[in-house]
Amino acid sequence: MNADQILVGISPVHPDDVVRVARSGTGVRLAGDALAEIARSREVIHSLANDDQPHYGVSTGFGALATKHIPVPMRAQLQRGLIRSHAAGSGPEVEREVIRALMLLRLSTLATGRTGVRVATAQAYAAMLDAGLTPVVHEYGSLGCSGDLAPLAHVALALMGEGEVRDAGGTLRPAAEALREKGIEPVELAEKEGLALVNGTDGMLGMLVIALADLRRLLTTADVAAAMSVEALLGTDAVFAEDLQALRPHPGQAGSAANLRMLLAGSGVMASHRGPECTRVQDAYSLRCAPQVHGAARDTVAHAAAVAGRELAAAIDNPVVTVDGRVESNGNFHGAPVAYVLDFLAIAAADVASMSERRTDRFLDVSRNHGLTPFLAHDPGVDSGHMIAQYTAAGIVSEMKRLAVPASVDSIPSSAMQEDHVSMGWAAARKLRRAVDGLTRVLAIEILTAARALDLRAPLQPAPATAAVRNAVRAAGVAGPGPDRYLAPEIEAVVDAVRTGAVLTAAQHAVPAPLS
């Protein structure tokens, strides 16, 4: 096996491997145990191929047409028609990383042997993913029940040599041409195979796994941003004491508070107002309650990760080939478990962003920023400083609140009322991706603003960790305080530093233990 490949077997795919395949272009290969199990279950389907008894997906139509008997000569056409008719997506193209995650997770289910596909079909699917061929999938088409049908059908269509793909370089090409160039024979689907390729929660699950990786980084970054703000706003770190936090033993809260203590250790700014002359009793909630809010979001991520882990271990298809060789219909394709946590994460992301924006706003209000200039402006009146950066953060937070409205409480019946309750999990995942991007940007604006405020506190010196982040912001091309300048590129530079982890890396190198 190549070093840049992962092996897909009958065991669940690890979340880190999902991210590697999705984002880094890591290739895949089917393991020997998977090939053996696929072959074994295919024998079960093959034994039913000429059976006159109705078997869903083998000798019947689909959805509300499940009572329609399909004669033996028409059963291959049944599978082709399923894919062509279900490849009915519309709207903008879905991101490459999402499609690659979706493909890996469908391949993982095929590898369990519970779907009844042929070995050659599974190998062709793996080859297409390994070659970096990404079928064009569209924004709309999945209701999150009976699987992510349209997105998965567009992938299966490419496997048949139809439709369009983007090659590893991103060029849009006819699927047949791209497959031929890579030496991949288009698949002529046999009994049940079309259904096996479309009946899973792989799209919404792939987006959940990717979002969890991003949110873990962002929630630690939120602690970094909060530490910078507490320090630069002359707040107190006394409320983050371990014994106080232990009075409310939520694990996420404890982790966030521990981060804040480490990040603020050794701060000259904090030391400057610890004496008896300081009359401040307690800080505003956006400073004082950061561990409680960030911690609740962390615990939400932990719950969502547990759900994702169970779903990664699932073999979702309908019908399935059971371990003892039965072919049984089921409802495991319903996306409710995944949809709920996708919505829950969007709520948590919106709340963390809302608190971050409130800290940014405090820096700009001369009545609340404890001696800093209005809007952190160089020459207030002539200069506007970060006034409109806060507008940008506020606009993003407002959208994130709208994105926090759950998708999973909606359901529109489909397939002539056969599929009369759906999860809308795909929609929940799509809006969570936008929410994650929004949180990235709001935290970046807070860090940009706090870095400027720390400079304005000179000659007082910040903590080593917050100073390191301030220096990383400067290294990203953001100059220190001065007259107004074009601000959008500076915001984007910090957004990139947050997204790539450069902010976290700078902070981590300056503290004695790993940030959690």
Sheet holding 172-174, edge to edge: 134-135, 164-166, 172-174
Its sign, for the CA torsion 114, 119, 125, 130, is positive
Buried b (16+ CB within 10 A) or exposed e, 227-249: bbbbbbbbbbbebbeeeebeeee
Backbone angles phi, psi at 267, to 5 degrees: -80, 120
**3-state SS, residue 88:** coil
CB-CB contact of 464 with 432 (8 Å): no
Among residues 397, 395, 405, the alpha carbon closest in space to that of 428 is found at 405
Residue 113: count of CB within 10 angstroms of its CB: 25
- What is the Cα–Cα distance from 45 to 58, expressed in whole angstroms? 8
Cα atoms in the Cβ-side hemisphere of radius 13 Å centred on 387 = 15
Cα atoms in the Cβ-side hemisphere of radius 13 Å centred on 128 = 34
For strands 172-174 and 164-166, give the pairing. Answer: antiparallel
Q: Could you tell me which residues are beta bridge partners of residue 174? A: 164
What's the one-letter identity of residue 439? L
**3-state SS, residue 383:** strand
CB-CB contact of 202 with 154 (8 Å): no
For residues 130, 135, 138 and 139, what is the CA-based torsion angle, rounded to 10 degrees? 10
DSSP H or E segment with residue 101: helix 96-111
For residues 363, 364, 370 and 371, what is the CA-based torsion angle, rounded to 10 degrees? 120
Tokens encoding 326: 């039965």
Among residues 456, 434, 293, 268, the alpha carbon closest in space to that of 359 is found at 293
Buried b (16+ CB within 10 A) or exposed e, 434-468: bbbbbbbbbbbbbbbbbbbbbbbbeebbbbbbbbb
E strand segments, 18-116: 27-30, 90-93
Among residues 269, 214, 253, the alpha carbon closest in space to that of 466 is found at 269
Query: Known catalytic residue: 125?
Result: no
| Catalytic one of 56, 125, 285, 391 | 56
Tokens encoding 271: 């030391």
- What is the Cα–Cα distance from 398 to 394, expressed in whole angstroms? 6
Tokens encoding 85: 């008719």
Residues classed as catalytic:
56
